[in-house]
Structure 1
């Protein structure tokens, strides 16, 4: 049995579908029953679980040969760091008690850094907690998701400006489509690989991009000129608060970009295998813009 946490998400759904196409039994773990309807149509067994509830997580992994673990940063949470650490602790306790043969965790570029990297330091904590578990551990470190730029779409389409915490605007950085993360995860789960040490794999898109490239891709997708705008450091926190994030959530983001913009968050070149997705910015932004315009 392949157990996929976060199966209703953009990456998890692709993983589950790929495993089913390969003829594997899949237990799709979702929070709400309605999220499992389309996954059940693929032939997945559906398990309902609250990732902060030890009993439901333990039940979800029972009998698993392989587990894909996804610990998302919770949205709309006044203290997302505390909630995510609880999620990680609950998951690792359950996996330590009942370890599968293979455990794949979706992590983040820069998770190896023992620094205050904001959101990414939570993935550093995740990796640290998972490494003692008696399993073949695969750490799939993902570059920034292209779909994250959807949050800026309403403003960009309304006023033609794309604000950015990535500085400078011309600096190229790794990014990846969520569906390519899911596809890479499925490939890794299907591979036969045994080692006494964690397997570290980094996944990013076909080419690195700059904010200027992102603005160009959005301009083409929307049919209007969108101009990138470098946000001054002092405006980051107010903008995030205005967008509805809590103060603590906003601090996780500003701490991340303070380090990201130094260039220190990247592939751990000395240890990491490399995977590259095939999805380009235009393949992601076209559907995003069309969906937004249809609303």
Structure 2
């Protein structure tokens, strides 16, 4: 049995689906019953859990051969909470832990990246055999805006028009996670998982135009307000993240993804072809 934390989120649902496709028994830990129906439909055992309740964690992880440690995105409790899950995994005798990190966690200008790097350090010395998964930004992040792009012909970019991103399909990320959770010979490995092409906003607009069969223009959304305070952690992190992307981009290589899956990474065009769009 494999435990997936924060399983009710988009990433957790995808990882559970990939594991179930491999016939793996899954215990899905969720913070609320919101996604329970979807997880139950996948055949997972759903357990409502407060990941910050340290005393309850060992029981939630008992009997697991592996744990996929996902922490909710842009959460100020990530470092302390993830380290607590790691300690609980050690106490529960878990055989393998996969930490869902991020591409380039060493970039401390982005606080949520820095938190994941500190968790990686704890994982390396945590006493549980480990693997680290470092995904790039998801192609799926574009999906919610597709209908608006179809209606307006404008693709808004908060990271400017000149720097690229190696957007990765979440299905590929989840399939890599399933490999890391179930296959031998990968302990102690750190695996960067990125899409196959660094795409600027105008390049993305071009692909959207092909998918939507209409002209699409990339529009630079330049921030006009100060960086939100740390007390508004999620907004603070998002702003600093896009500021970094605007200056440096966010790119990586698909090499590890393709080596682990034995096939090419899905392109953004592949991803967009699978999406339904209403105008």
* TM exceeding 0.5: yes
Q: Where does residue 209 of structure 1 map in the other structure? A: 199
**Deviation of 1:159 (Å):** 3.3
**Any conservation in 2 of the 1:142–1:181 contact (CA below 8 Å)?**
yes
How big is each residue's C-alpha offset from its partner over 1:175-201, in whole Å with a ceiling of 9 and x where there is no partner? Answer: 101111101100122211265xx3100
TM (norm. structure 2) is: 0.82
Taking the TM superposition and a 5 Å limit, the aligned residue runs for 1:1-295 are: 1-33=1-33, 35-74=35-74, 80-81=75-76, 83-113=77-107, 115-153=108-146, 155-167=148-160, 169-193=161-185, 195=187, 198-232=188-222, 234-235=223-224, 247-263=232-248, 266-267=251-252, 274-276=256-258, 278-286=265-273, 288=275, 290=277, 293=279
Shift of 1:170: 4.0
Maintained 8 Å contact 1:48/1:56 = no
SS of 1:274's partner is helix
CA distance in 1, matches of 2:23, 2:137: 30
Give the TM-score taking structure 1 as reference length. Answer: 0.78
In structure 1, distance between residues paired with 2:196 and 2:138: 13
> RMSD of the alignment, in Å?
3.1
- The answer for unaligned runs of 5 or more in structure 1 is 75-79
Q: How far is 1:155 from its partner?
A: 4.8
* Equivalent residue pairs, number: 274
Distance (whole Å) between structure 1 residues aligned to residue 139 and residue 52 of structure 2: 28
Structure 1 residues 102 and 166: CA distance shift in structure 2, 3 A: same
- SS of residue paired to 2:109: coil
**Paired residue secondary structure (2:120):** helix
**Mean CA deviation greater in 62-71 or 20-29:** 20-29
In 2, the alpha carbon distance for the partners of 1:130 and 1:39 equals: 27
Give 1:231 deviation, angstroms. 2.8
Which shows bigger deviation, 45-54 or 104-113? 45-54
